[in-house]
Amino acid sequence: MKRKFRPLELLLLTIALSSAAADKALNVMTTIPDLADIAREIGGHAITVESIVSGTDDIHAVSVRPSLVAKLARADAVIEIGLDLEHSFLPSLVEAANNPKLKREGRIVVSEGMIPKDVPTVISRAEGEQHPEGNPHMNVGPDSGKRFAKNICARLCELAPGNESLFKANLKTYLAKVADKEKEWKAKGAKLKGVKFVTYHPDFVYFSDYFGMESVGTLEPKPGIPPSASHTAQIITRLKEINGTKLILREPQYSDALPTAIAAQTGAKVVKIAIMVDGLPEAKTWIGMIDANLEAIIKALE
């Protein structure tokens, strides 16, 4: 006797098998929007992503909202830069969320395996609000995206092995895209070599070192310490001694009053930069942020 429901059985079997093979979408939180962008590129439809911080937040003084606790309580993973960058908000939120996953397999630190710059030799609060393991603002470095993407891919594969082929295929596509952009950045950024600049906070070293720019100092005398009159006078003196173009790179998190005043006295140009995705209107993605910063600086040099 013919079995009437064979097609239905086959359909149900197929659905069951495909459900077993493919994990449900991972719920991923990231600390900064750059990591959310890269995670979306790698994770595709297999993950949902949200960033805790927005592109214009001061990462050292993030306002902790209880609603973030509820989101982290349901998350499968949280992606962070590490190196103490997120110390002002992430540990307290993770503790309040009480999600065991985020304390173990669900914690993804993208700076793993990367050599940090500016590792302090003297650990002391007298040196300001130090990051003892090195400068954590790695996301602004044009060569950081590749390592972030690889680390995110490796960990997503562990968390959702059923989607490993998707993650790896997306990683390959993204790495190829970044490789093409790197060629473009190197070509465009050649004119940045030797350009002297100041920033408010030491958060641009990974970008400036990549292009061979030279930092003259920061408006903060030490990290996290507000500018003083004597230190500002020193910066003005240093800028006045520079022949040629000099730049004051202004992060959106800090006031523009002081950079504007210094620029008026020294002839330096103030350039708005982003230190996170969405820090500038054009910086909608991580690649877009590098593009936007590069364009802004090149425009100031012209």
Partner 1 sequence: MTVRRRFLCFSVLLACAFGCCTAEDVAAQLKAMQAQIKKMNHSLDMQSKTIAEQKRLIDDQRKDLETMRGTSPGSQPVIDDILKKFDVLEEKIDDRTAQAIKIASRKKPGDLNMAIGAAVDTSFGYTSVRAGDYDRPAGADFRMRGAELVFSMDVDPFFKSYLVVNASGDGENNDEATLSVEEAAIYTTSLSHVTVKGGRFFAPFGRLSSIHDHDLPFTTRPRSLDTYVGAESGGDGVQVQALIPIQHFLQITGGAFNKLGGEFPLLNATGQHRDGSEMTFFLKALTSFDYCNDHTVELGASAIEVPSDRIHRDLTNVEVTYKWHPKIGSALKEKLIVGAELMRNCVRTQFEVDAGPPRVLSADRRTGYGGYAYAEYFHTRHWSMGARADFFQNVDPTLASTRTDQTYTAFATYKFSEFSRLRIEASRHEYFNGRQGNEFLIQWTAFWGAHAHDFNGR
Instruction: Write out the residues near partner 1 by the rule CB under 8 A.
Output: 54, 56-58, 60-61, 63-67, 69-70, 73-74, 87-89, 91-93, 95-100, 103, 112-115, 119, 121-123, 125, 128-129, 132-134, 146-147, 150, 179, 224-226, 252-255
Q: Could you give the CA distance from residue 130 to residue 116 in angstroms, rounded to a whole number?
A: 14
Nearer to partner 1, 146 or 238 (CB): 146
Beta carbon of residue 133, minimum distance to partner 1 (angstroms, whole number)? 4
Question: What 3 state SS string does 62-104 have?
Answer: CCCCHHHHHHHHHCCEEEECCCCCCCCCHHHHHHHHCCHHHHC
Question: Which C-beta is closer to partner 1: that of 69 or that of 270?
Answer: 69
Q: Which is nearer to partner 1, 134 or 246 (CB)?
A: 134
Please, what is the minimum distance in Å from the beta carbon of residue 74 to partner 1?
Answer: 7
Residue closer to partner 1 by CB (options 74, 191) is 74
* Nearest 10 degrees: Cα torsion 57, 80, 100, 17: 120
Which one, 21 or 179, has the nearer CB to partner 1? Answer: 179
In sequence order, the β-bridge partners of residue 27 are 48
CA distances from 77 to 84, 135, 189, 236, 272 (A): 18, 24, 36, 46, 33
- Max CA pair span of the chain: 97
In the complex, least distance from residue 189 CB atom to partner 1, rounded to whole angstroms: 14
Q: What are the structure tokens assigned to 102, written together?
A: 């985020």
Q: Name the minimum Å distance from CB 5 to partner 1.
A: 38
In angstroms, give the least distance from the CB of 107 to partner 1: 13
Distance CA 259, CA 270 (A): 7
Taking the complex as a whole, the smallest distance from the CB of residue 89 to partner 1 amounts, in Å, to 7
Q: With respect to partner 1, which residue has the nearer C-beta, 99 or 163?
A: 99
Q: Which is nearer to partner 1, 112 or 295 (CB)?
A: 112
253: three-class secondary structure by DSSP = coil
**Minimum CB distance to partner 1, residue 118 (Å):** 10
CA distances from 8 to 5, 11, 12, 17, 34 (A): 5, 5, 6, 14, 45
β-pairing, 26-30 with 47-51? parallel
